[in-house]
Amino acid sequence: MLPHEAEVMAEITKKYRVQLEAMTDLHNAIVAMMTAGSWAITKKRGVTRFVVETMMGLLVKACKTFRSVQLLCERGLYGDASALVRVLMETTSSAILFILQTKSTQRTLMYHAHGLSQLIKMLNEWTTTPGLKRLASKRMIQQATHHQVHGEAAARNRCEVALVGQRQPAGRD
C-alpha cells in the first residue's frame, strides 16, 4: 500500500459514494448482459461472426479498463486513471465509430492489421533492446508478419501471437 492510501480511500469513499456506486452498478449491468447466456444476431447487414467476436473482445477490454479506472479512482490515483480513460475512449471509438459502419468485415480486418503492425514494431524494437532481445525470436516476428499478410484467418490468431509477444521475463511485472 502507498503511504496514507487507506485514509485517502476512506475519504474518497465518503465524498464520492454515489458516483462510485453508480460506476459499480454500470459495470455490474454490463457484466450481467455479457454473461446472461447466448446472443443472437438478428439484423446482420454484413456483420459476420468475425466482426461480432472482435466487438465482444473490445467490449470485454472496455469493461476491464472501466473497472481498472474505478479502482484507481477509489485509491486517489487520478493521473493513472486518466491515462486509462484515454485507452477506454480509444477502445470504444474503435468499436463504435470504426468497426460498426459500412463494410464492417473490411474495417475489422483493418483494425486487426493495425494491431499486428504494432506488435511487429514492438518485437522489432525488442531485438535491439538489451534484456528483451532474447524474447523477440525470429520465429515470433515471422509468425506475426505471416498473420498480417494472410488476412481474416490471421486476424483470428492475433490474440495468440500477442500473448506470446507480451510474456515477461521471469520475476518481472
The chain-wide mean pLDDT, for the chain, equals 80
**CA nearest neighbour of 23 among 53, 77, 76, 65:** 65
Sign of the Cα torsion 96, 41, 26, 80 reads negative
Q: Confidence class of residue 160 from pLDDT cuts 50, 70 and 90?
A: very low
- What does the pLDDT read at residue 98? 65
Residue 160's nearest CA partner among 38, 51, 57 is 57
In this prediction the pTM is: 0.69
Q: Which three cell numbers stand for residue 14?
A: 465518503
Gap between the Cα atoms of 73 and 139, Å rounded: 41
Residue-range domain boundaries for the chain: 1-34+44-101, 103-168
Amino acid at 27: H
Query: pLDDT tens for residues 77-116?
Result: 999 999 999 999 988 887 776 666 778 888 888 888 888 8
Q: Spell out the residues 6+ positions from residue 90 whose beta carbon is closer than 8 angstroms to its own.
A: none
Query: What's the pLDDT band for 2 if we cut at 50, 70, 90?
Result: confident
Which whole number is the average pLDDT over 141-152?
A: 71
